[in-house]
Each structure stands twice: as structure tokens, then as C-alpha cells.
Amino acid sequence: MTEPTLADLALEIRAKNAGPFWMTMEAFMADDAGYRAAEQLITADTVAALYHVDAEDLQIFRLPELRVVKVSVPRPLPQGSLRDRDMHAGQHHVPLASLRVPEGGQ
């Protein structure tokens, strides 16, 4: 059986603009076990590798009382610029949602 993804443990994982130069991904986890898995998986190094940014340039916010992990990263291009193909940053959650949860990580 394949390992579950972070999306399998979440109520919702989404991405949105956080101004014209930043985007934010949010993982709303269904329960405490899912939150613990998200907390362990969503690290600066993992996010930096997924989104091709420097770990020092991103911000991670952990909200255990809400079971939410938020990550803000610089947008690859300013919002609305000529080559911006996702004006609302709505598709950038997919790499985060696709993270595999190792066995015992739930």
C-alpha cells in the first residue's frame, strides 16, 4: 500500500497571494495526529526544495490550537507580471499537498 499524502490527512490545503511578492500555503489538518505529521513534514528545508527558494527566505507559522501550518514564500514572479501564469497563486499548494507521509508519521 502506498504512503498517504499530506492531503489525505488534511481538511484542506490551499495557496493564495500574500501580497504581490509573496504567496502563502496553508494546511488545515483534520486531527491532532495529522497536525503532528504536518508539523514534522513541513520544514524550511522541505519547502525550500519543493518551491526552489532559499530556506532563509521563507516563513513557517505553526498554529497547534487550530491544527494549521502556514508557509509563506516569495512568489517566483510578481503578481500580474508579464509571465505570471497563476495570478492568484491558487495552484501552488499541489507540491505541499503531495508530500508523502512516512509510515508511523500519522
The C-alpha cell at 60 is: 513557517
In a domain, 51, yes or no: yes
Asked if residue 51 has pLDDT above 90, the reply is yes
Domain that holds residue 84: 6-97
**Mean pLDDT score of the chain, rounded to an integer?**
92
Classify residue 60: in a domain, yes or no. yes
pLDDT of residue 35: 97
* pLDDT(81) > 70: yes
Output the pLDDT for position 104. 67
- 101, 8 contact by CB (below 8 A): yes
Q: What's this model's pTM, rounded to 2 decimal places? A: 0.88
Q: Is residue 1 part of a domain?
A: no
Residue 6, number of CB atoms within 10 A of its CB: 23
How far is residue 6's CA from residue 29's CA, in Å, rounded to a whole number?
A: 9
Residue that wins the pLDDT comparison between 80 and 35:
35
Domain total for the chain?
A: 1
